[in-house]
Structure 1
Amino acid sequence: MTDVLPSQAKEIEWVRLCQKQDRKGQYAVYQHYAGRMMAVCRRYLGQSPDAEDALQEGFMKVFTKIDQFTEGKSFEGWIRRIMVNESLMKIRKNGSIYLKDIDETWDVGQPADALMHLTTQEIEMLIADMPDGYRTIFNLYAIEGYSHPEISQMLHISEGTSKSQLSRARALLQTKMKNVAV
């Protein structure tokens, strides 16, 4: 028999309760994950009401599609994917992302030791300050860990555009970090 950690046991119980449409189980899931998932939504949508809408609509999907969750996988990861998809749907619906289809890629080095002098909050603010297209692809690739083929499918763009936007986002972030660190 495999050992189950207490947090995994709690998640398994929450999933089972949610599958039974148990309101207390749903509330426990919401209370436990809402803060982290709001941070995910805000990474894509900023401090807008759209981020709150994406969070609420995402949790509605979590509860209505709970039977699609595969036990043994990361429950938080499954919820996070739903929140990312909801955020991207909001971006597409609002037409607030503009990505130019470009096949060139810029070679950008590492931002030296600028990171050593910045707090996490400062870095998050710099990312949030990027144009929507750069921020979206940067978040999908660098934060969420999606590949360029996955990003191109999610956003209906070419892989070259994804790579180019990421490269430009990194260059912009590197410049901003140098300016803040000075």
Structure 2
Amino acid sequence: MLTYLMLLEEDADKARFQQLYEQYRGPMYRTALRYLKDEGRAQDAVHDAFVKIALHFQKISALSCMEMGSYIVTIVENRCIEILRKEKRRLDWDEDWDIPAPSGAEDEAGYRRLVALVDSMPETYREVLTLRFVLEWSSKEIARTLGLSVGAVNTRISRGRAMLIQRLKEVGYDYDRT
């Protein structure tokens, strides 16, 4: 807290900032944790957001209560998105994600073929399919993280699924939607 208060000049601002901090640190942390799925990174995101709030406190404190709350949540969401973008890496389905492989030699071979097919897809489709079906993110969460519109995300999901179904058929898997 002292770090943030040092960024403020007037005592009145410091008192208002302390109030704001107490009111929003919990919701900001929960928001960051929802995005980042890691306590340490969530704490870092909240810290960075509060530094930004302290640096621009004169402007922020002039907002209405509702506008301020919205703005503060947006700051932490944007910081989380920045963190996710910086950490963005190619997804390795076998090691990075805890996806249980099926039991049995035949099932294991099919699983390996599926992973290889997904890995061979263009990154734009592989990425959205992984976020949607492995991590179970909503289209809105994917859109925010990747900086796309929800419509673009839904289009990529649809095209990616169609591409995967086609590839499964090409390797002899009879995909039936029913």
Q: TM (normalized to structure 1)? A: 0.48
Higher radius of gyration, 1 or 2:
2
* Structure with the larger RCO, 1 or 2 (CA within 8 Å, 6+ apart): 1
TM-score normalised according to structure 2 size: 0.49
